[in-house]
Structure 1
Amino acid sequence: MEIAKQVGAAGFRGLYVEANPLSPASLREAQSVVPEATFVDAGVVGPPPTGGASPTHLMLSGTAADKIATLWANTAVTPMVVGSEPGAASAAKSAFALYNKGKAALAVLAFQLAEKHGVTDALTAQQTRTDAASLKDPALPEQLRSVAWRWGPEFDELAETLDEAGLEGDAARALRQVWTKLT
């Protein structure tokens, strides 16, 4: 938000791309502080773009989303225009983040519970199930410690997004605590 405020205060009139994982309220606030700019909502989904098996998508929405998408054409990032109004890209990013990072938070809790009871081997043995891929590596909690500091605040935004949609924001607030305790 601080950068958006600085850009707005400078009277920027170009294309402004907001690619942070924001709730609808935070996104409206960011848009309001850059009133002279053409605002494009964006959300990054996926790992750093290395061209591997898991693609990196740049979700885009807003009146100039197509312009931004052309800048990313033929790169390791796949642009996806998901709507003409700001908010659609953030919603797409939020929906996937809730699923993907929420499942990781549940796996962390499962590993911590299994460790407390000395049954980690029994838990990892379930990895062969099609519904248990997140359980293959008991080192997952330690591996996720390096991103927990930024995933926690993202879950705050997810909670607000769910609340605004009339859904259960407390679920995201509860999962946020997993990331808080890992930091």
Structure 2
Amino acid sequence: MTTLGILHPGSMGAAVAAQARLCGAEVLWCPDGRSASTKERAERYGLTPVRGLSEMTEQADMILSLCPPAAAEEVARAVAACSYARIYVDGNAVAPAAMANISAILRRSGSTVVDASVIGSPPSESKSPRLYLSGPAEALSAVVQLFAGSAVQARPLSGGIGQASALKLSYSSYQKASRALAAVAYALASDHGVEAELLDLAQGRTTSYLAETAYFPKVAARSWRWGPEMKEAAHALEEAGLPSNLADAAAVVMGRWTGLKDTSPDLALVIEELHTGPHCGPT
């Protein structure tokens, strides 16, 4: 039986870890400093608590990091400080250069590093996200085996560390930024009383995000995490010599929604916050 350590069981991390557990793995987690909601999720999914990170690194065959991107390197350093020398899977939305730094930190402790990215909603009976993987072939096979037959579709990529991160941020730079852009467009139309006409135009294209106004509140509630991800997407674009303005701008837009973290706002409040929320950059 594989023993997996999860850092940390948020809504995505807990659901992914639960799929590994359903496939026969024991899943460890560290309760210290975690919120009540995180503890509730861990208990609901049957995760095994450990006294601290050092205990996890002693017991885990594999550690999966799924945390806000700004914390990814700090988490990696903490694991490396415990002299962890088995498989470390970084599933965070970080730029390829950041992933290379994380890999270098962990290789010094003897870890085998896998670059990973989760694309899609948390796994469930009705949802099956893809877990893209890049890095050493033997380690990729171990991760694929861990999730075999589960709702997590593990898909190896060729090309080594950085490929999974690049794919994640390539997708995010369009998918998440376009959601924010649609909300801003709707807000402008709403200011001038032409939102119905705008939606009529948008609904002529059935794939347009502009028609999905019910999704804007979900974007706003998640923007505390999506905003930093857009910054990482901007870094990835800059590394490739491409314009990063839209990703940076999306982060600024999402910064106006930071006060709506983990809430369930209605559409009117979301639009109001676009006008009056915190200014997190140049306007």
- TM-score in same-fold range (> 0.5): yes
8 Å CA contact retained: 2:92, 2:117: yes
- Structure 1 runs (4+) deviating above 4 angstroms are none
Partner Cα distance (1:92, 1:131) in 2? 25
State the partner residue of 2:217: 142
Per the TM alignment, residue 14 of structure 1 is displaced from its structure 2 partner at its CA by 0.4
| RMSD, aligned CA | 1.6
Deviations 1:96-146 (A, max 9, x none): 111211211111111111111111111222343236531224343323211
State the partner residue of 1:5: 77
Look at both structures and tell me which one has the larger radius of gyration over its CA atoms.
2
Q: How many pairs are equivalent?
A: 182
8 Å CA contact retained: 1:61, 1:86: yes
Partner Cα distance (1:2, 1:168) in 2? 28
Counterpart of 1:3 in structure 2: which amino acid?
Answer: V
Counterpart of 2:100 in structure 1: which amino acid?
Answer: R
Per the TM alignment, residue 65 of structure 1 is displaced from its structure 2 partner at its CA by 1.6
Deviations 1:84-105 (A, max 9, x none): 4111110111111112112111
Partner Cα distance (1:132, 1:121) in 2? 18
Counterpart of 1:158 in structure 2: which amino acid?
Answer: A
TM-score (norm 2): 0.61
Sequence identity percentage? 34
Where do residues 120-139 of structure 1 align in structure 2 (5 Å cutoff)? 120-130=195-205, 132-139=207-214
TM-score (norm 1): 0.92
* 1:182 equivalent in alignment to 2:254: no
Counterpart of 1:161 in structure 2: which amino acid?
Answer: A
* Higher RCO by CA contacts (8 Å cutoff, separation 6 or greater): 1
State the partner residue of 1:72: 147
